[in-house]
A and B are shown apart, each in its own frame.
Chain A
Amino acid sequence: MRALLLLAALGAVAAATTENFVGHQVLRIVPSSDAELQKVRELQELEHLELDFWLSPRGLGDPVDIRVPFPSLQPLKAHLEANGVPYSIMIEDVQALVDLEQMQMLRRRRFVPRSTSTFDYTSYHTLEEIYAFMDLLVAENPNLVSKLEIGHTTENRPIYVLKFSKGGTNRPAIWIDTGIHSREWVTQASGVWFAKKIVQEQDQGLANILDQMDIFLEIVTNPDGFAFTHTSNRMWRKTRSKHSGSLCVGVDPNRNWDAGFGGSGASSNPCSETYRGPYANSEPEVKAIVDFVKNHGNIKAFISIHSYSQLLLYPYGYTTTAVPDKEELHQVAKEAVAALSSLYGTNYKYGSIITTIYQASGGTIDWTYNQGIKYSFTFELRDTGRYGFLLPASQIVPTAQETWKALEVIMAHTRGHLY
């Protein structure tokens, strides 16, 4: 009994909350007498040793496997030896095994990264994983990054925006959003990459911009839809709102803005993929951004990112009337596309929404432009139809890299032409 108390005392001293398994061993004991069995059973009461019984004591001849944290190894072994309980070392280093398994889990996308350096940017992630990433990024860069909750979705999920700021008050800002259409997975994945890139470039390529401006990045603009693409329907585009009178679910969040709302280029049929919604800003995902933009009042560039088609577009989508700043926007788009192509030779077309793609009313950047945000652009990322929405994960990083080149052009131009 005295020995046990000693062991407990030693264990208490040694007890440390370990986060990893470096130095941990797994010992195997096969009790061959009642005395041995009793001794092993008593070990279970020593909580300070933090013994993790992989196989609990049962009967004579039944193996007992115990994962032993490093600090408890010596005390425990000494105790077993002193009591004549034979043991063998089954696993010499649990961490090595865990590493291997984690590597395998990484491939199965169940790896829980502990920093944004170990986060896998070459895979698609779930909503939970992306939200966890955001928290990690903020925790690692508290002086640059903060997370804002700008609203809640229909299914009550929080809507988050990352703010990148080096100070000041209500500085002129750049807004980037990805994932407004949930099935366009390469966009949310690129958004994650952009977040990390902004942090990496804060004192280099982005120093000039961040000295004067803030950047807002909404990575998952349609969280309900995104969750749905993981759990139920990979091809889901819209929100998940239910408006009375219809069995069909969801509104096209890129037809729900108050710009040309109700006109051609959107559907009034709730079952349509381009359903505009019962009224403008009916969708909390859209309303949240509208409120944010209006309250901020100082956003100078607004970039909304979609896939696929490889296009860079400026307003309008709802009318053929050219925007007053057409010449300038066209020129910026031209330069941005040239920069994008310079990386991997990816071909982009550019122009106004209505002439380049098709008529669309109630669109995001038509509204933002009409709010006075001159540098309003929409991207359609890779590819041009071969994989479409199902873009291979191997293309995430190249897509994000080339798109970033275009974003740099837009941001630099905005910074050099503040209004």
Chain B
Amino acid sequence: MPGLRAALPAALLLLSSFPPAAAKQPPWPWVPGVMHALNPSDSQASAAARTALHYSNYHGASPSRLRALHQVLKATVKAIPEVGMKYYMHFTTEDYITGEDAGSCLATVLYLKKSPPQVYIKCTHTQDKKQIHEEDNRFYQYLQHRKKPIIASNIPDSYGNIDRDHLALWGLAIAGSSCIMWERSREKLAYFVAQVKAVKQWIRKDSAVEFEFMILLHETPTQKIDLCHMHLIWILGHPLEVKYICTSDSHGLEDGSGQDSGSAAGMFHGKEGNF
């Protein structure tokens, strides 16, 4: 939607002079077309900011540069009749892995009923771009040159531990999962990565890096845990290629045994995944 890029200056204008906060009681009777200010601590504002970050983390295609929401500074929302709700936000972020300050972002998120939200996001850079490129490159080379495929499970484990050796892998999983989370986010549905259940690398002869993941996503407000089978191809400097299929909660498998934390080896078939 070309109009989105033009919307940014307009959004900036609006953000700097939004109307006094309207009295707010859900369900909000939004007057269509009118900007309504949101309390920055409003959960909707945070959810929209996170949706924007899922989009950014996926499209950034960089396991070393992932952002998490720190704080919403300003947020407004507009109801677009027949289309959806559009959020305009200014928020601060932190590095997903380290928690360090990662600058601030301006973003708009248009939630649609049945399609992935339309996101525009622009962030300041506090992290050293060069350093991030180097880290990605180092990790990429490491993965590319492996003869034996990496196989791992439960990142983090039940106790919240992540092996130092698995931190970058966790980053890659989150970058890929962000595609899933962005595409599935709706105005009233938000996602977090609960756990990387299993990872298996597929060794390739070309320059690409290929992985299969089993990811647990935590969905709110339903509180569901979705199990997603994700196939990811990473070529440095290119967008991540992500294919996935999710089951809504392992309840369907419930027979008293519940979902078990089996080994990664048990999760994957010998053939290449085909969705």
Contact = CB atoms under 8 A, between A and B. Distances in A.
A185 B220 CA distance: 18
Interface stretch (A161-169, A229-237, A294-302): A229-237
B160 A395 contact: yes
A273 B249 contact: yes
A235 B192 contact: no
Interface string B147-186: 0000000001111110000000000000000000000000
A185 B216 CA distance: 17
8 contacts: A232-B258, A235-B194, A235-B225, A271-B251, A359-B26, A359-B221, A389-B194, A390-B194
Given A349-B41, A358-B43, A273 B223 contact: yes
A281 to B, nearest CB: 21
Interface string A268-299: 00011110000000000000000000000000
Interface of B: 24-26, 41-43, 50, 68-69, 71, 96, 99, 156-161, 192-195, 216, 218, 220-225, 249-252, 254-261
A232 B257 contact: yes
Given A273-B223, A355-B26, 15 more contacts: A124-B159, A232-B258, A233-B250, A234-B158, A235-B195, A235-B259, A249-B256, A347-B71, A355-B25, A357-B221, A384-B69, A385-B192, A388-B193, A389-B218, A390-B158
B257 to A, nearest CB: 7
Contacts of A236: 258
Nearest to B192: A385
Interface of A: 123-124, 185, 228-229, 232-237, 247-249, 252, 271-274, 320, 347, 349, 351, 354-360, 384-395
- A interface, by DSSP: helix, strand, loop or mixed? loop
A392 B160 contact: yes
A357 B188 CA distance: 11
Contacts of B256: 249
- B interface, by DSSP: helix, strand, loop or mixed? loop
A388 B218 contact: yes
A387 B162 CA distance: 10
Nearest to A393: B159
Contact of B160 (A273, A355, A358, A387): A387
A273 B224 contact: yes
Given A387-B156, A395-B160, A271 B192 contact: no
A228 B255 contact: no
Given A273-B249, A384-B69, A385-B68, A232 B259 contact: yes
Nearest to B161: A392
Contacts of B255: 247
A392 B216 contact: no
A232 B224 contact: no
Contacts of A391: 160
B247 to A, nearest CB: 12
Contacts of A384: 68-69
